[in-house]
């Protein structure tokens, strides 16, 4: 038995050696020894397809150019529906433009950031590196069709934004050749600091933490503290908290659908229905699933206006007009609900029809 | 009065099957409380098989939950492998959900859902309750088509498949992920009611994968010239962040596919994500597609326009990713009700982006006196630590707080200290001591002390 096993091991060893002599190839150049067979060299085309980042020193910036005027056309077609015609909209995202001055362009510090009473912080107030704008618009915009803008498109849109902020004139053409000059005019270019202890490592200096609490154990506070809390009218603003806590436990959730009681346990109502109630939710209708799938819900909600009108409003206005709605969904439009354009949508006609039928029938949910 | 309201205790039989609180609700005609109660009573009657009359009778002799054998004691239960072969929580746990904070964001694809910390035990967040933060919506990515590229200052720009990454020796480590904006809404004053909304952009998992340094070395990384790593996602936002090199070369930064024993959930980056322990969650890039080694930081959108901390002098702190030592009491916490006086185990979570938690102190008198809390093992680096403190509540209003100290000696700051250093407009990295007011009526409120 023993010799038999030994024999098998020897045989297995011989087989391995034979395989090695046939299959073993030198590791690809530069690859560390060990972990053979894991990974392969990337082709130049593959690296080009994915390596799209642009650094503050403009490493990675592709050649190209775009005018403010071309940027304006692109903006109104592809960007204004979320960001507003002048980049000022606060409806979907924080405003992009506003709050910067000619003086800021000289100093490189946005003065409004030093005021505690200034209400907004726009992108142009914050950004210190123009590469960041270019990189992000290129990789992630437009919101529902990221990476669909060409390099020249991105130069144009960036130029338009910079013109809105008065960093470049209306007749400006932004390109890889002059972007460094634009960087030198960015309003908040001197507004960043790395003098803090929140970067793990020594690359930016080693500042000590900016708070230094002591672990005092007794008689730590002199006077009884003053308390601030949520106002009574906000009691139910986050929904009924009783339904956001487990049915059993050391504490239950407070029934915030009712005014607060005076007695211990007044609001400790037992709400045993959450489980049963949630199981009643049937599968979402196919139309609602499609609204999610095609990101319609980025701009529309069922009952309230977001960027576009509520589905309920559309259903009311265009009751029974499914064919009309299929066209509007696929081709987009402007003017029916105001000046914010709806971009054309790329979904298939069959999907558009399901959504249109649902809208035409009243947008039930 | 209060004792009668406690379920499970013997109490006098009511005139009919309505309990005291139900009778009070019913009296408020037309209120939503009545509807809630009636639905509740209905569901209880359906679920419990205990007829109203029997309940009343039961109350006379003892607890009907004991005296009246329930259906599950008298019938045949469910078969194995129900629910399509993947188990789900009990339907009675439906309240325990991740939730959006009303009004916080305007589109659900660039938004947050908060983990229900008030209902969780121990240190591991169930994967389905892990908080979500998406910048351009989530995807369920086909793992057979997913690729990871490593390029930049490497000898051989390289491509790895999931098959290949999963062939490498793996490590499994427990780490927290906390969004840099966790607790952001409370910087200036109390803004939200519960720990889910104040601290719920915090979760903790066992992650399985390979150290990023292994993949960099396979590609022949220039670890002398390379000072920074860029990580990039494959989703629409193609999220990019500059990753601290020290955490890469130490082997701490992981490229992971596993979470709590199974694959990552799509909402958490399936099939591949980065984990940068101790650093704000946005650096743990989901749907990881590319790693680039370079000699300068990148100033990506989420480290140049967002995730920068505005200081009182008008400057923004850039590359501010580390999550400093922090803790919070999860029970009792805002929006909960203590049902009675008497014994409670105050329990909560503590963590530090700089290493292990060394101590947690708890105050039950608004910060005047503190007692050392028990720390539940295991206590791990850059991981949540569960703590607890025995407490007998005398029924008087009080404020409960926790204060963590990490292994570097850093002590979690008060709001006053934090605001002195950073003002109230910095949005990110609020690690102040949190306070919960326990009122005489048992309700717990989110409060701040000054």
- Alpha-carbon dihedral sign for residues A84, A87, A93, A99: negative
When pLDDT is averaged across residues A286-312 and rounded to a whole number, the result is 78
Least-confidence region, from A253-267, A294-308, A314-328, B271-285: A294-308
> Where, residue-wise, is CATH 1.10.760.10 in chain A?
65-183, 286-360
Residue B68, H or E segment: none
Rounded distance, CA A341 to CA B248, Å?
46
When pLDDT is averaged across residues A61-65 and rounded to a whole number, the result is 98
Domain at A65-183, CATH from 3.40.50.300, 1.10.260.40, 1.10.760.10, 3.40.47.10 = 1.10.760.10
> Where, residue-wise, is CATH 3.90.420.10 in chain B?
111-317
- Alpha-carbon dihedral sign for residues A297, A299, A300, A306: positive
Residue A152, H or E segment: helix A151-164
DSSP 8-state secondary structure symbol assigned to residue B221: B
Give pLDDT tens digits for A81-96.
Answer: 999 999 988 888 889 9
When pLDDT is averaged across residues B222-251 and rounded to a whole number, the result is 96
Q: Do A274 and B94 touch (CB under 8 A)?
A: yes
| Bond preceding residue B271 cis, omega within 30 of 0 | yes
Of A229, A271, A332, A69, nearest in space to B190 by CA: A229
Asked if B406 reaches chain A (Cβ–Cβ under 8 Å), the answer is no
Rounded distance, CA A354 to CA B20, Å?
50
Q: If you average pLDDT over every residue of chain B, what do you get?
A: 89
Asked if A107 reaches chain B (Cβ–Cβ under 8 Å), the answer is no
Chain A residue with CA closest to B422: the answer is A210
DSSP 8-state secondary structure symbol assigned to residue B119: G
Model pLDDT, residue B6: 43
Of B365, B362, B369, B412, nearest in space to B390 by CA: B362
Packing angle of the helix pair A286-293, A349-360 (nearest 10 deg): 130
Q: Do A295 and B137 touch (CB under 8 A)?
A: yes
Reply yes or no on whether the pLDDT at B58 is more than 80: no
Q: Do B25 and A241 touch (CB under 8 A)?
A: no
Model pLDDT, residue A33: 53
- The number of C-beta contacts closer than 8 angstroms across A and B is 436
Model pLDDT, residue A290: 84
When pLDDT is averaged across residues B365-392 and rounded to a whole number, the result is 97
Which of B227, B301, B418 lies closest to A136 in CB terms? B301
Reply yes or no on whether the pLDDT at B370 is more than 90: yes
- Disruptive mutation site among B102, B109, B296, B305 for chain A (greatest number of A CBs within 10 Å): B305
* B395-434 burial code (b ≥16 CB/10 A, e <16): eeebbbbbbbbbeeebbbbbbebbbebbbbbbbbbbbbbb
Tokens of B147: 């690729």
Confidence of residue A267 (pLDDT cuts 50, 70, 90): low
Give pLDDT tens digits for B401-448.
Answer: 999 999 999 999 999 999 999 999 999 999 999 999 999 999 999 999
Topology annotation, domain B326-447: Immunoglobulin-like (2.60.40)
User: What percent of chain B shows pLDDT beyond 90?
Assistant: 82
Give pLDDT tens digits for B252-272.
Answer: 999 999 999 999 999 999 999
What are the strands of the beta sheet with B240-244, ordered from one edge?
Answer: A40-41, B158-161, B147-152, B288-294, B228-233, B240-244
ipTM field: 0.86
Q: Give the residues across from B232 on adjacent strands.
A: B240, B290
Model pLDDT, residue A363: 85
Give pLDDT tens digits for B95-120.
Answer: 999 999 988 888 888 899 999 999 99
* More confident: B51 or B378: B378
Please give the class, per CATH, of domain B111-317.
alpha beta
Model pLDDT, residue A269: 53
Q: Does domain A286-360 have CATH number 1.10.760.10?
A: yes
Residues in B closer than 8 angstroms to A39, CB to CB, are 150, 158-160, 164, 215, 218-219
Model pLDDT, residue B244: 95
Which of A132, A217, A243 lies closest to B305 in CB terms? A132
**What is the three-class DSSP state of B33?**
helix
The DSSP annotation for A98-137 comes to -S--HHHHHHSS-GGGG-TT-----HHHH---HHHHHHHH
Q: How distant is the Cα of A194 from the closest Cα of chain B, in angstroms? A: 5
Q: Do A276 and B413 touch (CB under 8 A)?
A: no
Reply yes or no on whether the pLDDT at A262 is more than 50: yes
Residue B363, H or E segment: strand B357-363
Q: How distant is the Cα of A1 from the closest Cα of chain B, in angstroms? A: 34
Give pLDDT tens digits for B170-208.
Answer: 999 999 999 999 999 999 899 999 999 999 999 999 999
Q: Do B413 and A31 touch (CB under 8 A)?
A: no
Confidence of residue B360 (pLDDT cuts 50, 70, 90): very high
Q: How distant is the Cα of B57 from the closest Cα of chain A, in angstroms? A: 21
């Amino acid at each position: 038995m023993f010799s038999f096993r030994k024999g098998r091991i020897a045989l297995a060893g011989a087989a391995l050696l034979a395989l090695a002599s046939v299959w073993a190839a030198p590791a690809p150049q530069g690859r560390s020894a060990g972990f053979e067979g894991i990974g392969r060299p990337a082709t130049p085309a593959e690296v080009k397809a994915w390596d799209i980042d642009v650094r503050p020193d403009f490493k990675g910036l592709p050649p190209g150019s775009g005018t403010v005027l071309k940027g304006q056309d692109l903006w109104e077609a592809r960007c204004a529906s979320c960001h507003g015609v002048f980049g000022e909209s606060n409806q979907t995202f924080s405003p992009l433009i506003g709050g910067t001055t000619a003086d800021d362009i000289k100093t490189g510090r946005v003065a409004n950031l030093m005021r505690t009473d200034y209400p907004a912080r726009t992108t142009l107030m914050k950004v210190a590196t123009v590469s960041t704008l270019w990189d992000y618009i290129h990789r992630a915009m437009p919101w529902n069709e990221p990476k669909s803008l060409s390099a020249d498109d991105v130069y144009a849109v960036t130029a338009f934004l910079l013109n809105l902020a008065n960093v470049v004139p209306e007749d400006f053409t932004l390109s890889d050749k002059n972007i460094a000059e634009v960087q030198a005019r960015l309003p908040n270019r001197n507004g960043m600091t790395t003098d803090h202890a929140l970067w793990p490592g020594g690359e930016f200096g080693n500042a000590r933490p900016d708070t230094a609490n002591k672990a005092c154990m007794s008689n730590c506070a002199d006077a009884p503290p003053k308390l601030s809390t949520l106002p009574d009218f906000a009691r139910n603003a986050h929904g009924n908290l009783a339904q956001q806590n487990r049915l059993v436990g050391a504490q239950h959730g407070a029934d915030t659908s009712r005014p607060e009681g005076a007695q211990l346990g007044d609001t400790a109502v037992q709400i045993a229905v959450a489980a049963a109630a949630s199981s009643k939710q049937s599968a979402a209708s196919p139309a609602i699933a499609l609204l999610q799938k095609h990101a319609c819900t980025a701009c529309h909600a069922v009952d309230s206006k977001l960027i576009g009108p509520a589905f309920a409003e559309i259903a009311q206005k265009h009751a029974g007009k499914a064919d009309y709605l299929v066209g509007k969904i696929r081709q987009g439009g402007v003017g029916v609900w105001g000046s914010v354009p709806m971009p054309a949508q790329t979904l298939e006609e069959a999907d558009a029809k399901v959504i249109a039928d649902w809208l035409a029938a009243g947008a039930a949910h | 009065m209060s004792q009668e309201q406690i379920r499970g205790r013997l109490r006098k039989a009511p005139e009919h099957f309505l309990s005291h609180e139900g009778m009070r609700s019913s009296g408020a005609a037309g209120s939503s409380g009545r509807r809630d109660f009636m639905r509740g009573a209905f569901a209880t009657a359906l679920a419990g098989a205990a007829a109203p009359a029997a309940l009343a009778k039961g109350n006379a002799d003892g607890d009907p939950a004991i005296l009246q054998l329930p259906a599950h004691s008298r019938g045949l239960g469910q078969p194995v492998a129900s629910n399509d072969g993947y188990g789900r929580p009990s339907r009675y746990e439906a309240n325990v959900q991740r939730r959006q904070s009303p009004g916080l964001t305007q589109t659900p694809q660039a938004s947050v859902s908060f983990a229900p910390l008030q209902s969780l035990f121990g240190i591991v967040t169930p994967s389905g309750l892990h908080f979500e933060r998406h910048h351009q919506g989530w995807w369920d990515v086909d793992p057979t088509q997913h690729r990871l590229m490593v390029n930049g200052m490497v000898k051989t720009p390289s491509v790895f498949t999931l098959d290949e990454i999963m062939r490498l020796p793996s490590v499994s480590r427990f780490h927290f992920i906390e969004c840099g904006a966790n607790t952001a809404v409370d910087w200036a004053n109390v803004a939200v009611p519960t720990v889910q909304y104040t601290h719920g952009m915090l979760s903790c998992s066992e992650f399985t994968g390979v150290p990023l340094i292994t993949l960099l070395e396979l590609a022949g990384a220039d670890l002398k010239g390379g000072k920074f790593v860029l990580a990039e996602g494959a989703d629409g936002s193609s999220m990019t962040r500059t990753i601290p090199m020290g955490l890469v070369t130490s082997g701490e930064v992981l490229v992971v596919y596993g979470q709590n024993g199974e694959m990552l959930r799509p909402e958490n980056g399936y099939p591949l994500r980065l984990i940068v322990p101790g650093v704000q969650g946005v650096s743990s890039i989901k749907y990881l597609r590319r790693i680039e080694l370079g000699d300068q930081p990148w100033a990506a959108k989420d480290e140049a326009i967002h995730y920068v901390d505005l200081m009182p002098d008008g400057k923004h702190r850039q590359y501010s990713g580390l999550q400093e030592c922090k803790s919070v009491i999860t029970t009792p916490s805002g929006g909960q009700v203590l049902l009675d006086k008497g014994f409670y185990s105050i329990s909560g979570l503590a963590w530090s982006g700089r290493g292990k938690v060394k101590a947690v102190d708890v105050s039950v008198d608004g910060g005047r006196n503190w007692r050392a809390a028990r720390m539940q093992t295991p206590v791990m680096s850059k991981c949540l630590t569960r703590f607890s403190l025995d407490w007998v509540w005398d029924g008087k209003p009080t404020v409960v707080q926790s204060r963590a100290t990490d292994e570097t000696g850093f002590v979690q700051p008060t709001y006053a200290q934090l605001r002195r250093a950073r003002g109230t407009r910095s949005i990110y990295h609020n690690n102040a001591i949190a306070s919960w007011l326990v009122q005489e009526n048992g309700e717990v409120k989110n409060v701040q002390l000054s």
